[in-house]
Structure 1
Amino acid sequence: MIRRDQGARILPSPSQSFEPRQSARGTATKRQLGKAAVALLCLLLSSCAHQRYDPRPVSLDGIASQIEAHSLDSPELRAFVQAHYPDKAWPPAQWDLDALTLVAFFYNPDLQAARARLASADAAQITAAQRPNPVLGLSSQRTLNQMAGISPWTLGLLLDIPIETAGKRGYRMGEAAQLAQSAQLQLAGAAWDVRSQLRTQLLALWSLSGKAQLVRRQAELEQTLSTMLEKRLAEGYASAWELNQQRLAALQSTRDALAAERDALAARVKLAAILGLKADAFAHAQLDLAAFDRQTPEPPAQAIRRQALLGRADVRSGLAQYEASQAALQREVAKQYPDLHLGPAYTFDQGADKLGFDLSNIELPIFNRNEGPIAEARARRQEAEAKVRQLEAKAFFDADSALVAYHGAHAIFQQAATQLAVQRRQLGVAGRALELGADDRMALVLAEKAELAARLAQFDATFQVQQALGQIEDAMQLPLTSTMIPLPPNPPAK
């Protein structure tokens, strides 16, 4: 007697003589499927982990030792400059702003943190570009009351192949790309901040060092006048009050000189911190501060405003973040369309071979159509747009404020230069009068003191002009008198 089981296989009745043969065939088939399933599972598991964890412990003592080892003559620094800036002679004979900027590019911790953020953003692009992996499902079942001659086992093999629809992957990749560009621009902004801090500290060092020399000379003149008044007091031509006032002026000039020298040392410490060096790392380095002695022509206002509004790194970074919010909104809108899940399957069902194909896990938009995430994405886009407008307004304000500061400082400088010219003529007249015997030595010293006071006023005015020029550079994030030093394309290996 012959019967058909679910239309899949013709099986003999229990009374037929070849029952053992059929049972053996089912057992063999079961064993083959089991071996194949185990082999496939092992293959999949072994292919999942082609990368290994690389331990990288952080030691506070190790970091402190690295900072201690930072120096201007480091071979790692030299290799970095030669690799990324081959046109720069290294080490330089004198350390100017451009040379120290390269040192900061290598050592400055803020730039290292910005590079790490950029590396994270670049890694996020890899994540965004990944396609979802298929999912393998294995199942097994044993029938306890199976019929004689039929395998009691049911083995299932299901493959779930997800397919993203409506361009979600492309929008995700676009968002990640814009965020990576924003991180790149933030790194450029951090590099400019480092250069700006370097220029500020070098200008402070130039000002304090120069002022200390002038005030020292002023203290010498005040002391000379004190000595002259002592002689006049002894001869009855001066009062004790006049001598006391002159001595107080000499003491004040000495204190001013000492304060300027102290502040100059503090400026060196701040400069070393910006460079990522110890305070004494460039104690014997020859700094080139001559650039602050030169006058820079007045920059065109329209070009400054245009560069500030269109070229600043923070403005362009904000625009990239806005474009990322656009892509994020597109992705959330695309989520209204469900993804597909293709499910080819094979089942060994108690001796029967079955092939199947499922179209499952399709989300039905019954209770929501992704309205909430779409509304959040729209709000974030509006927030990003407001941020761009805020950055543009700040750039415009910075440019106008810098121009006003420059014009005011330049007017004060011109007035100080005129006053200095007058005092120098008076000093020349006093010198000739002394030669002709028309006046005494004290008149010449007083004229020299007045000329020195005019020099101090012009020096302060020059400092204010240089400060205003730094404001203009910060408003544009672009140097006025030197070329822009580009960041290296990759983080330096250390």
Structure 2
Amino acid sequence: MRLLAFAFPWLLTACGTAFQPHPIPQQENITTIHEAAPDEDGFKTFVLSNAPQTAWPIQTWDLDSLTLSALYFHPALKVAKSDYAVALASITSAGLRPQLGLNSQLAHSNQANGDISPWAYSLQVSIPLITANKRQISIEIAQYQADIAKIQIAETAWMLRQQLSVDLILLAEQQAMQANLSKLQTAQDQLLDAYQKRLDVGVAGQSDVLPIRLQRDQSAWQLQQTSVQIKQTEQKILHDAGLTTQNNPLFKLAPVQLSQILKERFAHAAVYADATTIQHYALTNRMDIQRGLAQYAKAESQLKLEMAKRYPNLSLSPGIMYEYGDKIWSLGLSAMLNLLNRNSDLWAQAEQVRLNEAARFYALQHQVIQSSEQVHVKYRDSARLLVTLTQTYEQQMQRKAQLAKQWRQGLIDKVEYLQAEIQFYNAQQRLILQQANVMRALQEIENVMQTPIALSQRPVVTLKQQQKATAK
């Protein structure tokens, strides 16, 4: 009885803490989402800790500062970090040792057999023993899962940065087109006015004026559409930075000059013209490649665990009994025998999982190699077309300058000059569109390599330069 009295507090302790429900604070979440703003003290601390070179407060926002906002406010990264926290907790739980078992029994006899005492009670402790290093293998599996979750955090951060990069390229294209369409509409208005005067004096007919009016109306519609699209893109940038428009004005964005950026990128054309470098970075630097390797390693550990399960776990059961006056001690040994299934059946599925992960990794490498080739060809062809359009644009610019000089000297009339000016703006439109296409091709190369290129000033080292540095 004294042993039972001693063990009773242990049993109460094992009950643990009572469950406490914690419902989701829906309204509080909504308030937090709307009140998030870049002037928060928490965001300031985050910026100065992760990018101390950033001037505070941020006056004009570029890709780097917008990315910092997304990393702090965007819920996608919060989810990825939460998944990582769950994976870390799984490492701790995988390393927990099995619980001890405690069995007790109380009996009373009518002493029909002449027992010395009518009472019998026993206390037995069950001590599980994990064999074949199963506990360490379980920890290893949990660690690989934590590595996968950590890589997914980096993937999410890269995804947020890439989306902002796409937004900024689109905004730069729209703003350049807006400026072009505004000038084009002014030239078309002047040309329409000049033809209207000719129509009034009978020099021109309605068939001459109507196409010009239609072109002017089309340009006016495009200008209105572009202005609306710019507002939508600016709002999307705010959303992709993790904020809402309810309590936040649109960002004052640093201008992105596509032509200037492309001049700098063309100065290092060998980096992007080298398909081997693109493929090398893609196959060694991409986070999904690292995640695939971690998933395969996890599958191997799972197979290792299934093979270790061939060896049954043991359980020692020391105990003491007081049985109707007799004191008895005992020591038991138990194990679970697998007699119904063959040992190979225990790891057959785990082996298939490992083969599946190997096939997935092969398919991933195949996809990355194909993507590397596709983005390289797309950039190369887009860059060649840009060179041609740039030459045409420069010729139109020279012709426009010549006709402007002749018009000022009275050698040609204003209509001929305005027609050349409209042709110049049309050539400029084609150039803007192609510059944006080349920037998007660069951005796709950046995404395949997962190395900043398009809107970054960070230089990229080619594979040949890496090999030379290694040789030295």
Give the stretch that moved more between structures: 56-65 or 129-138.
56-65
User: What percentage of aligned pairs have identical amino acids?
Assistant: 26
Other-structure match for 1:323: 297
Q: How far is 1:135 from its partner?
A: 0.8
Amino acid at match of 1:344: P
Q: How far is 1:206 from its partner?
A: 1.3
Other-structure match for 1:227: 193
TM-score, normalised with respect to structure 1: 0.87
Amino acid at match of 1:431: A
Other-structure match for 1:487: none
Other-structure match for 1:82: 48
Other-structure match for 1:363: 336
Q: How far is 1:129 from its partner?
A: 1.1
Q: How far is 1:36 from its partner?
A: 3.4
Other-structure match for 2:314: 340
1:43 and 1:275, CA in 2 relative to 1: closer, same or farther beyond 3 A?
Answer: same
Contact 1:336 1:369 in 2 (8 A): no
Post-superposition Cα deviations, 1:227-249, rounded to whole Å, max 9, x if no partner, equal: 00000111222111111111111
Other-structure match for 1:254: 220
Other-structure match for 1:17: none
Q: How far is 1:465 from its partner?
A: 0.8
Inter-partner Cα distance in structure 2 for 1:407 and 1:98:
27
Inter-partner Cα distance in structure 2 for 1:302 and 1:53:
58
Contact 1:225 1:445 in 2 (8 A): yes
1:473 and 1:409, CA in 2 relative to 1: closer, same or farther beyond 3 A?
Answer: same
Q: How far is 1:148 from its partner?
A: 5.3
Inter-partner Cα distance in structure 1 for 2:9 and 2:394:
91
Other-structure match for 1:95: 61
Q: Does 1:426 align with 2:426?
A: no
Inter-partner Cα distance in structure 2 for 1:203 and 1:80:
26
Inter-partner Cα distance in structure 2 for 1:36 and 1:344:
14
- Equivalent residue of 1:355, what SS? strand
Amino acid at match of 2:6: A
Contact 2:111 2:117 in 1 (8 A): no
Amino acid at match of 1:427: K
1:434 and 1:173, CA in 2 relative to 1: closer, same or farther beyond 3 A?
Answer: same
1:340 and 1:183, CA in 2 relative to 1: closer, same or farther beyond 3 A?
Answer: same
Q: How far is 1:315 from its partner?
A: 1.4
- Equivalent residue of 2:322, what SS? strand
Amino acid at match of 1:307: Y
1:284 and 1:368, CA in 2 relative to 1: closer, same or farther beyond 3 A?
Answer: closer
Give the stretch that moved more between structures: 86-95 or 127-136.
86-95
Amino acid at match of 1:325: A
Post-superposition Cα deviations, 1:151-203, rounded to whole Å, max 9, x if no partner, equal: 21111111111111111112111111111101111111111111111111111
Q: Does 1:277 align with 2:251?
A: no
Q: Given the alignment, which residue of 405, 413, 420 partners 2:378?
A: 405
Amino acid at match of 1:459: I
Q: How far is 1:38 from its partner?
A: 2.4
In the alignment, structure 2 segments of 5+ residues that lack a partner are 460-472
Inter-partner Cα distance in structure 2 for 1:317 and 1:390:
14
Q: Given the alignment, which residue of 406, 410, 413 partners 1:437?
A: 410
Inter-partner Cα distance in structure 1 for 2:54 and 2:321:
70
Q: Given the alignment, which residue of 209, 215, 238 partners 1:243?
A: 209
- Equivalent residue of 2:342, what SS? coil
Post-superposition Cα deviations, 1:73-127, rounded to whole Å, max 9, x if no partner, equal: 1222212223444443333221000000010001112111111111111111111
Other-structure match for 1:35: 2
Inter-partner Cα distance in structure 2 for 1:72 and 1:202:
19
Contact 2:124 2:319 in 1 (8 A): yes
Q: Give the greater-gyration-radius structure (CA).
A: 1
Other-structure match for 2:140: 174
Q: Given the alignment, which residue of 369, 388, 408 partners 1:415?
A: 388
Q: How far is 1:317 from its partner?
A: 0.6
Inter-partner Cα distance in structure 2 for 1:426 and 1:142:
116
Other-structure match for 1:23: none
Amino acid at match of 1:311: N
Q: How far is 1:291 from its partner?
A: 5.7
- Equivalent residue of 1:73, what SS? coil
Inter-partner Cα distance in structure 2 for 1:102 and 1:394:
30
1:440 and 1:281, CA in 2 relative to 1: closer, same or farther beyond 3 A?
Answer: farther
Amino acid at match of 1:92: I
Contact 2:70 2:240 in 1 (8 A): yes
Other-structure match for 1:373: 346
Inter-partner Cα distance in structure 2 for 1:291 and 1:236:
46
1:130 and 1:482, CA in 2 relative to 1: closer, same or farther beyond 3 A?
Answer: farther
What RMSD over aligned residues (CA atoms) do the two structures have, in Å?
Answer: 1.9
Other-structure match for 1:307: 281
Other-structure match for 1:190: 156
Q: How far is 1:370 from its partner?
A: 4.2
Q: How far is 1:251 from its partner?
A: 0.5
TM-score, normalised with respect to structure 2: 0.91
- Equivalent residue of 1:365, what SS? coil
Contact 2:115 2:324 in 1 (8 A): no
Inter-partner Cα distance in structure 2 for 1:282 and 1:397:
42
Q: Counterparts in 2 of 1:54-203, with a 5 A limit? A: 55-146=21-112, 150-203=116-169
How many correspondences in the alignment? Answer: 449
Contact 1:268 1:279 in 2 (8 A): no
Q: How far is 1:307 from its partner?
A: 1.3
Inter-partner Cα distance in structure 2 for 1:84 and 1:280:
27
Amino acid at match of 1:478: T
1:476 and 1:281, CA in 2 relative to 1: closer, same or farther beyond 3 A?
Answer: farther
Q: Given the alignment, which residue of 172, 181, 185 partners 1:215?
A: 181
Post-superposition Cα deviations, 1:430-483, rounded to whole Å, max 9, x if no partner, equal: 022113221011122122111111211111111001100110111011212345
